[in-house]
Amino acid sequence: MRAKHYLIAATALTLIIFIASNLLVQKVFTGVRLDFTENNLYTLSDATKSTLDNVAEPVELTFVYTRSTGQDYPSIRAYADRVRELLHVYESQSGGKVRVTEIDPLPFSPAEDEALAAGATAVDTNGNDPLYFGIIGRNSIDDQRVIPFLAPDREVTLEYDLTRMVDRLDDPDPPRVGILSSLPGMTSPGGEGGYALLRDIGKSFEIVPIAETFQSLPEDLDVLLVAQPPELTERQSWLIDQFILRRGRAVFLMDPAAKTVSGGGVFSMGEPLTHATLGALPNLWGVSLSEQAVADAANALPVPVDAGNGRVEELAHPLFIGIPAGDMNQDDLITADLSRSINFGAPGAFDSSQLGDGAEFTPLITTGPSPSFIDADKAITEMTPQAVLREYQTQPTALVLAGRLSGKLTTAFPQGAPPVDTPSDPVLAELAMAEAQSVPPHIAESETDAQLVLIADVDFISDDFYIVPGNEIVVADNGALVLNALDALAGGGELSRLRSRAPSLRPMTRIDGMREKAEAIYFRQQAELETNLQTAQARLEELQAIGSTDGFFAGDLEADLTDEERAELLGLRESIVDLRQRLREIERDYRRDIDQLEGMLKAINIWSGPLIVGLIGLFVWYRQKRKGRA
């Protein structure tokens, strides 16, 4: 074979191998990727992979996005690419069990009818076409779940929301959470008007409210949430005791000094307790709650404080505690993946020194190394930071603010079931007796290992402690802590790892710092120059009113202007021109450093690749040249 024919055949064969290899790689390695981002933004978590591996029936996810409208909004367009890419990863990872489609709901199209029928939100863009940007999920039995609108500022929960949707479509019956509380924010019907936490619980669980006069607990509860409960009778305490021994899953939020309760506001409609009580269960099976509040100077949060004379200053307040995520228990599923602090308000502390055999108490969140107890009655008042520090008595060790109690427990009622609480009204008394007859018989020990999460504060679930008012931006993981606990105890613990995944938006901190510095200088100088300019112009108008001419640069003035006034007028004109020129220079200098940095980055991005390739080529040429000489 001639060399020319050999070259042609080799080229054709290489091309065939290249195309076949690409097709093979695309088929075999679908979904495989290398993720070099700081927080593995494009890698599915183990919880998501586990959920997708266990999908029993096909799940269809429909991405609803108005492309033509979204292109006008860079943040929406970028986030849409992120959502679309993540959905395709779900599809490839599930082995075909999750099917992804996309519709573009143009006005008056069948796609828009489908989106509206499913409950997707049409956002008005002040233009002709609305923006649809959501996800519709359906399973094989026509159950449906919808994310009406994918807000970019909620990207931190995107993977959690998608995985939760797939999980709920695969198993449509959500866990049942019974809520017993004296806080109106936790008992609002349908969650409307209540805490954001209550609404978030309603998105993932079936909420079963428990009345203050309950004579039995609802059947088939997966987990019990007790948040600053009302005064319990002995019978009611026994019912909780028996639920723990049988089901063993509960979250207790108890507070010796509930500051938000004492402050009125949202609580003014009812009379919730400012001090924690569990009736005949004061020690929570060997773990007791302190009667005093806790202050922690090391983790004090800045809060607005009246400094007198109408001034308000932000000072570190030891009763308002912010525990960083890195200081929490990193081995427990509930707190390991929290990425933001937990903000407490005058919490209590737990003591497990009386813990019985067979049980274990694991701290989840602790104070700094030198906390102090503060009288609870004083803590619920408006104590100033200085007043707290005057009563500060350092404790020898850190105090436990939240923990997990697990293992075998024994009843707090060894004598058996207390008598039924019978109302004086005969009809109500008969109903109470009938309800009590449905209660299972008394047991003395756990039928299953208990898993209880205990948190020594209720203030922290108030919106004001972790949500910026007005724009609903979450700044702390207070809500995520409770939701993680419910997830873990209700059997969906793996999903809690997804709640605090970092968003893909990474701020350019250096440019932001340069911009803030430039703005500080620019606005200060601009304000000074504009003030001088206004003063000069006002004086100029005054002098011109005296003279006979109103022209700006007119040279002749009437005799009623003195020589000093004429000289002042001339100086004012020159000063105004100079001030205006300096303002223009400041405006040019405002972005100078930022523009230089952006220009340097563009030069590096554009020319670094070709330059490196060129240098490598020169190096290879030089090596070959040396070998040729040798």
Which of 113, 144, 168 finishes a domain?
168
Residue 88: other Cβ atoms inside 10 A: 16
Q: pLDDT band for position 495 (50/70/90)?
A: low
**Rounded distance, CA 489 to CA 614, Å?**
59
Residue among 545, 547, 527 nearest 535 (CA) = 527
What per-residue confidence (pLDDT) applies to 305?
79
SS3 state at 249: strand
**Rounded distance, CA 549 to CA 318, Å?**
68
What per-residue confidence (pLDDT) applies to 548?
47
Question: Do 147 and 198 lie in a common domain?
Answer: no
In order of 27, 43, 68, 130, the CA distances from 77 in angstroms are 29, 21, 10, 15
Q: Write the CATH number for 109.
A: 3.40.30.10
**pLDDT tens sequence across 172-222:** 778 899 999 988 889 877 666 789 999 889 888 899 999 988 888 988 899
Sheet holding 311-323, edge to edge: 300-308, 311-323, 342-345
What per-residue confidence (pLDDT) applies to 529?
60
pLDDT for residue 505 is more than 80: no
**Rounded distance, CA 419 to CA 234, Å?**
9
Extract the tokens encoding 528. Answer: 């000074």
**Rounded distance, CA 360 to CA 408, Å?**
9
Indicate whether 601 belongs to any domain: no
The torsion defined by the Cα of 237, 239, 245 and 249, in degrees rounded to 10, comes to -90
Question: Do 106 and 212 lie in a common domain?
Answer: no
Indicate whether 336 belongs to any domain: yes
Question: Do 246 and 337 lie in a common domain?
Answer: yes
Residues in contact with 427: Cβ distance below 8 Å, sequence separation at least 6, in sequence order:
none
Question: Do 235 and 294 lie in a common domain?
Answer: yes
Contact 240, 249 (CB under 8 A): no
Indicate whether 495 belongs to any domain: no
SS3 state at 177: strand
pLDDT for residue 269 is more than 50: no
pLDDT for residue 109 is more than 70: yes
Indicate whether 118 belongs to any domain: yes
Question: Do 201 and 155 lie in a common domain?
Answer: no
Which of 134, 150, 168 finishes a domain?
168
Residue among 169, 265, 238 nearest 465 (CA) = 265
Beta strands in 50-118 (DSSP E): 59-65, 98-103
pLDDT for residue 541 is more than 80: no
Task: Give how many domains the chain has, as a whole number.
Answer: 3
**pLDDT tens sequence across 12-24:** 888 888 887 777 7
Burial class (CB in 10 A: 0-12, 13-18, 19+), 604: exposed
Extract the tokens encoding 239. Answer: 């019912």
Q: Is the full-model pTM beyond 0.75? A: no
Give 516 or 87, the one with higher predicted confidence: 87
Indicate whether 380 belongs to any domain: yes
Indicate whether 518 belongs to any domain: yes
Taking the CA atoms of 186, 170, 503 and 37 in sequence, report the sign of the dihedral they define: positive
At position 34, the amino acid (one-letter code) is L
Please give the full DSSP string across 255-305, using - where no structure is assigned: -SS-HHHHT-GGGTTS---SS---TT-TTTTT-EE-SSEEE-GGGEEEEEE
Burial class (CB in 10 A: 0-12, 13-18, 19+), 587: exposed
Domain residue limits at 212: 176-304+313-415+441-490
Question: Do 369 and 231 lie in a common domain?
Answer: yes
Indicate whether 330 belongs to any domain: yes
Contact 278, 284 (CB under 8 A): yes
Q: Write the CATH number for 326.
A: 3.40.50
**pLDDT tens sequence across 150-176:** 988 777 778 878 888 888 888 777 889
Question: Do 371 and 463 lie in a common domain?
Answer: yes
Question: Do 106 and 200 lie in a common domain?
Answer: no
Question: Do 223 and 140 lie in a common domain?
Answer: no
Question: Do 197 and 151 lie in a common domain?
Answer: no
Question: Do 116 and 222 lie in a common domain?
Answer: no
Give the mean pLDDT of the chain: 80
Angle between helices 46-53 and 158-170 (to 10 degrees): 20
At position 186, the amino acid (one-letter code) is M
Question: Do 342 and 193 lie in a common domain?
Answer: yes
Indicate whether 204 belongs to any domain: yes
